[in-house]
Amino acid sequence: DVKVTQSSRYLVKRTGEKVFLECVQDMDHENMFWYRQDPGLGLRLIYFSYDVKMKEKGDIPEGYSVSREKKERFSLILESASTNQTSMYLCASRAQGETQYFGPGTRLLVL
Amino acid sequence: GDSVTQMEGPVTLSEEAFLTINCTYTATGYPSLFWYVQYPGEGLQLLLKATKADDKGSNKGFEATYRKETTSFHLEKGSVQVSDSAVYFCALTKGSNYQLIWGAGTKLIIKP
């Protein structure tokens, strides 16, 4: 069965902290994605990765960076967290087809 | 650019009612269309999809037909249950990399 896991379900951080969100998939998928989900805005793509060490900016990359050192793991980094980064963060992975498989999400609160 | 528009929620229905959630899209070429569902406290999961005009996707009693002439992909179910309460997202693929363009989501509340 397909499985995408995220390191935390809930996270509370302070403004200016460096934040790491981890995502792991066990399906040997090449493509991985980070989205943020906000009410009324749907999902917005932050970054995606086609392969190990490869990354591409999505629609809203500002304030974020990513790391993909191993195929199964895709990390989202908030270099200096700000209150406007309070959101639900969703990770997804995909093989060569079109269907994306999502993790359960991390709800981040920045105080 | 490409976009997806969904009806605003929340949509509140009684159990066994008929459901329609509207979705229209703007896209060049021939996108594939999707409905994803997000149950409370969970991530998104694919509900159904259609890859070409007049295709009908179906799953768990839900159906949606790819209508190119009206650029629509409305989600329907004949008799909803309380367990269908969730947020429903319409989406399309863009480009050879299959990036998804998302609608804003529609929250569905089913009352017993």
Closest CA to B19 of B28, B27, B10: B10
Q: Which residue has the tokens 């989205």?
A: A35
pLDDT band of residue B97 (cuts 50, 70, 90) is: low
Inform me whether the pLDDT recorded for B29 exceeds 90.
no
Closest CA to A78 of A6, A1, A17, A3: A17
Give residue A83's pLDDT: 97
Length of chain A equals: 111
Residues in chain A within 8 Å Cβ distance of B49: 98-99
Give residue B81's pLDDT: 97
Q: B42 to chain A: nearest residue by CA?
A: A104
Most confident by average pLDDT, A29-43, B13-27, B83-97: B13-27
Q: Do B104 and A42 touch (CB under 8 A)?
A: yes
| Regions of chain A with pLDDT less than 50 | none
Inform me whether the pLDDT recorded for B83 exceeds 70.
yes
| CB nearest A42 (choices: B43, B45, B89) | B89
Give residue B59's pLDDT: 97
What is the least distance, in Å, from the CA of A81 to any CA of chain B? 23
Give residue B96's pLDDT: 63
Q: A98 to chain B: nearest residue by CA?
A: B98
Distance of CA A54 to the CA centre of its chain: 15
Residue B82 at interface with chain A, using a CB cutoff of 8 Å: no
Q: Between residues A109 and B42, which one has the greater pLDDT?
A: A109
Q: B9 to chain A: nearest residue by CA?
A: A40
Residue B49 at interface with chain A, using a CB cutoff of 8 Å: yes
Average pLDDT taken over every residue of chain B: 93
Inform me whether the pLDDT recorded for B75 exceeds 80.
yes
